[in-house]
Amino acid sequence: MSGKLSFDALRELADRGEIDTVLVCFPDMQGRLMGKRFHVRNFLDSAWEETHCCNYLLATDLEMATPDGYRATSWESGYGDYVMKPDLTTLRPLPWLEGTVMVMCDILDHHSHEPVPHSPRQVLKAQVARAEALGLTPMMATELEFFLFEGTFDENRKRGYRPLATFGGYNEDYHILQTTREEHVMRPLRNHLFAAGIPVENTKGEAEAGQGELNIRYADALACADHHTIAKHATKEIAQQNGLSASFLPKWHQNRVGSASHVHLSLWRGDDPAFHDKDAEHGLSELGRRFCAGMIAYAPDYTFFLAPYVNSYKRFMKGTFAPTKTVWSVDNRTAGFRLCGEGTKAVRMECRIGGSDLNPYLAQAALIAAGLKGIEDGMELAASTRGDLYEDSSAREIPRHLRDAAETLRNSTMLREAMGDWVVDHYTRCAEWEQEEFDRVVTDWEIARGFEKA
Ligand code: ADP
């Protein structure tokens, strides 16, 4: 059993007693898998058509709290149900869980069966449809960086996350000796994901003690976001099975480099790479230049979708490979956008702003929306930048705090036109709530700073 599964193949596996459980899931606002575990017989008989979940699942925070201020759902409206509609094209085995397969769902209104506009899969589908209407298919890849820590999630939580010990004691960027020590996690991760039909390219060590990266081959945007979500989930579960914890918190320590999720993007017309023009500068077509001009110009508008928490903004530090400027460059890792595959059919733009905590559906949707605006308005791509862009005071900064990103999101005419007020208002509330929660908290830093000295 490997790769995606057809419905008939699932029936055969159930008949042979090889599969007994179906995870019926969807990505929530934070990009986590939410859903239910079905007995395979119930799934084959009825749940494949639809099942239901509480509509609070698209309006909670990381702690599953139920903040007020969402129009879509509230105590007043009684927290009713959504329909979870399995997308049977996503049926696949999850080989790291015994006897288990999974399917991704779309979220529909309980009464009208219309797609729920703020559900992350729908937010992305809407932008892909806008690109497809122009005959263009966005092809995307999202890199997954994370830290491995000693001890399971439970063990670390019970100790109050102090001290946190990285698995490995030194910078392991491209390091084979150190990464061999992680193979009890990384090898099953690569192989199980591959068997689940996710085209894993490689894993590698990253530029900090305990830090690793998983790369998956680019795919159409929806498949890419599904791959990312399942891979992130698998990384946590497989680390846990091996007595470690895998954390996608972007910045776990102020003195350590943070974790990113760089997003690679190109547009295709059928089998033709529409970003490529062999006669153009860098091999980047005029269409590609316009699209990239939009992505770069509107980066402040959608920074929230790349950096959705207070902690996300701690990553943006000079000298750490995390960018602070919305400019582009050719193969220069200090810029927010880096042109890769220069002069080849694989020419693409890498957005380096996103943290490892981004929701890939929302991040990709925002990048596509901004790029399409660049095409619509015939925007001109500025000249590429060079050198250490951390030190370039003329280059525009991305929002440096969640509070600022919430404001640029709220005021984004581009995103309101592309995604609709409903979606932008929903996620602005999400950003505001996260900030409100943080603002209430007295931090360890404040106590240590002021207890005696203030
Ligand atoms: P680097 O190591 O320089 O960041 P890689 O060659 O590892 O770059 O590629 C990074 C990601 O870019 C991979 O996941 C790859 O699948 C993806 N990629 C390659 N070609 C394209 C393309 N034309 N469009 C979008 N993504 C692509």
Measured distance between the N- and C-terminal CA atoms of the chain, rounded to whole angstroms: 64
pLDDT in tens, the chain (454 residues): 678 999 999 999 999 999 999 999 999 999 999 999 999 999 999 999 999 999 999 999 999 999 999 999 888 888 899 999 999 999 999 999 999 999 999 999 999 999 999 999 999 999 999 999 999 999 999 999 999 999 999 999 999 999 999 999 999 999 999 999 999 999 999 999 999 999 999 999 999 999 999 999 999 999 999 999 999 999 999 999 999 999 999 999 999 999 999 999 999 999 999 999 999 999 999 999 999 999 999 999 999 999 999 999 999 988 777 777 889 999 788 889 999 999 999 999 999 999 999 999 999 999 999 999 999 999 999 999 887 776 777 778 899 999 999 999 999 999 999 999 999 999 999 999 999 999 999 999 999 999 999 9
139 lines ligand 1 (CB under 6 A): yes
142 lines ligand 1 (CB under 6 A): no
pLDDT at site 30 = 98
Query: Which atom of ligand 1 is least distant from the CA of 345?
Result: 23
Considering only the C-alpha atoms of the chain, give the largest distance between any 2 of them, rounded to a whole number of Å: 71
Residue of minimum CA distance from atom 24 in ligand 1: 266
Asked if 278 and 140 count as a contact pair (C-beta separation under 8 A), the reply is: no
Q: Quick one: how far is CA 18 from the chain centroid?
A: 32
Gyration radius of the chain's alpha carbons:
22
Distance from Cα 364 to the centre of ligand 1, integer Å: 15
Planar angle of CA 377, 261, 325, nearest 5 degrees: 55
In order of start, what are the domains of the chain with their CATH numbers? 7-116 (3.10.20.70), 128-444 (3.30.590.10)
Q: Which residue has the tokens 């392991």?
A: 172
Instruction: Count Cβ atoms within 10 A of the Cβ of residue 99 and give its class: 0-12 exposed, 13-18 middle, 19 or more buried.
Output: middle
How many other CB atoms are found less than 10 A from the CB of residue 429? 19
pLDDT at site 1 = 65
Rounded Cα distance, 245 and 153, in Å: 5
Residue of minimum CA distance from atom 13 in ligand 1: 217
Distance from Cα 350 to the centre of ligand 1, integer Å: 8
**What SS3 string covers the chain?**
CCCCCCHHHHHHHHHCCCCCEEEEEEECCCCCEEEEEEEHHHHHHHHCCCEEEEHHHHCCCCCCCCCCCCCCCCCCCCCCEEEEEEEEEEEEECCCCCCEEEEEEEEEECCCCCECCCCHHHHHHHHHHHHHHCCCEEEEEECEEEEEEECCHHHHHHCCCCCCCECCCCECCCCHHHHHCCHHHHHHHHHHHHHCCCCEEEEEECCCECEEEEEECCEEHHHHHHHHHHHHHHHHHHHHHCCEEEECCCCCCCCCCCCECCEEEEEEECCEECCECCCCHHHECHHHHHHHHHHHHCHHHHHHHHCCCCHHHHHCCCCCCCCCECCEEECCCCCCEEEECCCCCCCEEEECCCECCCCHHHHHHHHHHHHHHHHHCCCCCCCCECCCHHHCCCCCECCCCHHHHHHHHHCCHHHHHHHCHHHHHHHHHHHHHHHHHHHHCCCHHHHHHHCCCC
Distance from Cα 266 to the centre of ligand 1, integer Å: 10
